[in-house]
Chains A and B, each alone.
Chain A
Amino acid sequence: MATQEVQPNETLTNLKAESDTLKTKLEDERAKLHDVELHQVAEKVDGLGQFIMKTRRTLKGHGNKVLCMDWCKDKRRIVSSSQDGKVIVWDAFTTNKEHAVTMPCTWVMACAYAPSGCAVACGGLDNKCSVYPLSLDKNENLAAKKKSVAMHTNYLSACSFTNSDMQILTSSGDGTCALWDVESGQLLQSFHGHAADVLCLDLAPSETGNTFVSGGCDKKANVWDMRSGQCIQSFETHESDINSVRYYPSGDAFASGSDDATCRLYDLRADREVAIYSKESIIFGASSVDFSLSGRLLFGGYNDYTINVWDVLKGTRVSILFGHENRVSTLRLSPDGTAFCSGSWDHTLRVRDRGYHLG
């Protein structure tokens, strides 16, 4: 039987010792560069003052918990998916429903709009990610044109088109992420490294190259090279599942939201956590996070039905938004940054903006 040649010093014990030494070295290297806190650097920045947001639209129509939503690049359409198996495409300006698809499974945990605006992807307990081309003919049965693209061995937790309609990135309860070719359904690359369910992913802004970040039940956030499949950086400071990850608009950092009731900011060049957004009064998990266009604001949707708005630089909360009558499960900024949409277990989605600019 052919076996790998084991060098004399590569016994299990030696490798374990080296692994421990390397882990300590990593901690030391990261600590050496920890010369200041982000909020200290930001002391001289003006505070944000009173912060009021208004709900402009409430999208009603789902029969059960809204689990996921995504914006179309046209800044007005939204796709959302629900526990009852329905995927709905809305015109958020008019609140009209433009398309509705019934999936063959319940708990459609993931949905995404294609960059062209001509298709949506979704999946959940069916362990798959399927793409539905959107027809202009309202009477056409969308389910007939459905294309199964991704196959995992456990639930689909998140999906995202890359910068074209041709490829989809998925994350799954099976502990992996994967990149797929939409046309052929072929697996292009798989990403192994999480020790438990992967719950979320986000692609780096296109200017920063081919990487993405994922978060999982192993409390880790991993940054991956899409071409090689390698994990290039890993962060483990959360104390519970990471439900949501989102890149800072410059691509140099990302935020995470976790069941440990905190959101955190990790800087990729410093290779460490640089801020924690938390309060003693916030004890429920953060399910979903997103930044405003400049990266100054971090919106976090929580399981206590609220949305907390954080000053990213100063680490303070600038506002708390009420309105949903159950957990906030999903939250995304609109493509032009003028509004954000939140989806909730209360069956609705809400679009909010800052209100009027006087003068």
Chain B
Amino acid sequence: MSGSSNLVAMKKIVQQLRFEASINRVKVSQAAADLQQFCMQNALQDPLLTGVSSSTNPFRPQKVCSFL
């Protein structure tokens, strides 16, 4: 019966919303500070921020061999 299945579906929606409304949240200022701290702490280990030297770069340009 479509009436009772609408009811069941609606109950699920309400249950899900109750769950989502009840979670603990932190302020954006706190969350943002943590995101920033993570970036700063890991900046030196981020090869795309620092670049890598040619000798350690696995994707250094392939050199062409030539006979001298």
List chain A residues, Cβ under 8 A from B3: 12
CA–CA, A37 to B28, complex, Å?
A: 7
> Which parts of B30-57 form the interface with A (CB within 8 Å)?
30-36, 38-43, 45-54, 57
List chain A residues, Cβ under 8 A from B41: 294
Say whether A356 contacts B57, CB under 8 Å: yes
Distance from B60 Cβ to chain A, minimum over Cβ atoms (Å): 8
CA–CA, A340 to B48, complex, Å?
A: 9
> Which parts of A308-348 form the interface with B (CB within 8 Å)?
312-313, 333, 336-340
B→A interface (CB under 8 Å): 3-4, 6-8, 10-11, 13-14, 16-21, 23, 25-36, 38-43, 45-54, 57-61
Most A Cβ at <10 Å: residue of B8, B31, B50: B31
List chain B residues, Cβ under 8 A from A93: 58-59
> Which parts of A1-19 form the interface with B (CB within 8 Å)?
3-4, 6, 10-12, 15-16, 18-19
Say whether B43 contacts A274, CB under 8 Å: no
CA–CA, A25 to B18, complex, Å?
A: 10
Say whether B59 contacts A295, CB under 8 Å: no
Say whether A356 contacts B36, CB under 8 Å: no
Distance from A286 Cβ to chain B, minimum over Cβ atoms (Å): 19
CA–CA, A42 to B20, complex, Å?
A: 29
CA–CA, A231 to B42, complex, Å?
A: 31
Q: Is A194 an interface residue (CB 8 A)?
A: no
List chain A residues, Cβ under 8 A from B11: 10, 15
List chain A residues, Cβ under 8 A from B30: 269-270
Say whether A354 contacts B26, CB under 8 Å: no
- One of B7, B27, B43 near A270 (C-beta < 8 A): B27
CA–CA, A117 to B27, complex, Å?
A: 41
List chain A residues, Cβ under 8 A from B27: 33, 35-36, 270
- One of B6, B7, B21, B26 near A10 (C-beta < 8 A): B7
Say whether A26 contacts B20, CB under 8 Å: yes
| Contact-residue bracket for chain A | 35 or more
Q: Is A45 an interface residue (CB 8 A)?
A: yes
Say whether A19 contacts B10, CB under 8 Å: yes
Most B Cβ at <10 Å: residue of A36, A355, A358: A36
Can you give 20 A-B contacts (C-beta < 8 A)? A10-B7, A26-B20, A35-B28, A36-B28, A38-B28, A45-B39, A48-B49, A231-B16, A232-B20, A250-B34, A267-B28, A294-B42, A313-B36, A338-B52, A338-B57, A338-B59, A339-B59, A353-B57, A355-B51, A356-B52
List chain A residues, Cβ under 8 A from B33: 41
Given A267-B31, A270-B31, A294-B45, residue A357 in contact with residue B58 (CB < 8 A):
no
